[in-house]
Amino acid sequence: MFGSSLNQIPKELILPIVQRLRLASDKGYIMDRNIESYLKVYQVLSEEECIKTVKALEEKDSEFQTHQFYNSTAGTYHSYEHELSVAYSQIETKDLIMERIWNTLKKYIEELDMKGWFVSWDGFSEVRFNRYHTDTQMKLHCDHIHSMFDGQRKGIPTLSILGSLNNDYKGGELVFWDEKVVELKAGEIMIFPSNFLYPHEVKLVTEGTRYSFVSWAW
Ligand SMILES: [Fe+2]
């Protein structure tokens, strides 16, 4: 029955559908459904570049401010106990970090082979530096960034980029889903989808100061 109705359709109408299906499977457009496959770590900065960046940030001490979470429902900002500090300092290595992020984002998307349909991301935000002194942390959250959209930029953060700048601290583990610890060494960045499927946190730093940076692609 099915075969006979297919026979009634002109051949030239059937072919494009068959070709499209084959193309989809050849190109790997069927997504990997393992949620952990989308956490990817890349080495992007040298030891010297990290040291230079941390030194520059130490000199910008006064620019760091206590981090605040924005509650869009209440329209309020809130810092929790042990909250980290953040700064958008203009330091010499910032352009270099932005350039490495750009190149690595392209690599991430290529590796996941999403080019066939993931076509409309527009850019990534200016790097924000995160500083975790001893006894500070970032509590479990997913990224829902309001401040980056100013009327000209439109979209949602699709990917988060987290970079580590030093190793000389204790504690401060990056943890996903309240259980998976991701080791991020100085010079490495992690790219991951930043929506509600990927809640993450930075545990309390127990010794030293942890420096990192973050950017969001939309
Ligand atoms: Fe986050």
Cα distance between the two ends of the chain: 48
Tell me the CA distances in angstroms from 163 to 13, 17, 148, one per residue in order: 50, 44, 19
pLDDT at position 89: 97
Q: How far is the CA of 140 from the centre of ligand 1 (A)?
A: 8
Could you tell me the distance, in angstroms and rounded to a whole number, from the CA of residue 152 to the centre of ligand 1? 23
Measured in Å, residue 62 CA sits from the centre of ligand 1 at 23
Tell me what the mean pLDDT of segment 161-166 comes to.
98
pLDDT at 12: 53
Over residues 118-155, the pLDDT tens digits come to 655 678 889 999 999 999 999 999 887 777 777 777 66
Nearest of 202, 173, 174 to residue 82 by alpha carbon? 202
* pLDDT tens string 9-55: 555 554 444 444 444 445 555 677 889 999 999 999 999 999 999 99
Q: What is the pLDDT of residue 166?
A: 98
Percentage above 90 pLDDT, the chain: 60
Mean pLDDT over 173-183 rounds to 95
C-alpha 142 to ligand 1 mean position (Å): 6
Mean pLDDT across 88-109: 94
Q: Is the pLDDT of residue 6 over 80?
A: no
If you measure from the C-alpha of residue 28 to the centroid of ligand 1, how many angstroms do you get, rounded to a whole number? 29
The CATH number, out of the four listed (1.20.120.1630, 2.60.120.620, 1.10.20.10, 3.30.2310.20), of the domain defined by the range 33-217: 2.60.120.620
The confidence score (pLDDT) of residue 194 equals 85
Higher pLDDT, 73 or 40: 40
pLDDT of residue 213: 98
CA of 9 to the centre of ligand 1 (A): 53
What confidence tier does 72 reach under pLDDT thresholds 50, 70, 90?
Answer: confident
CA of 59 to the centre of ligand 1 (A): 25
At 151 the pLDDT is 73
State phi, psi for 118 to the nearest 5 degrees: -90, 75
Residue 141 Cα to ligand 1 middle (Å): 6
Average pLDDT on 168-190 reads 96
Q: Tell me the CA–centroid distance for residue 64 and ligand 1, in Å.
A: 18
**Stretch (H or E) spanning 216:** strand 210-217
Q: How far apart are CA 62 and CA 130, in angstroms?
A: 13
Confidence class for position 115, pLDDT limits 50, 70, 90:
low
Please choose, from the candidates 52, 31, 17, the residue with its C-alpha nearest in 3D space to the C-alpha of residue 117.
31
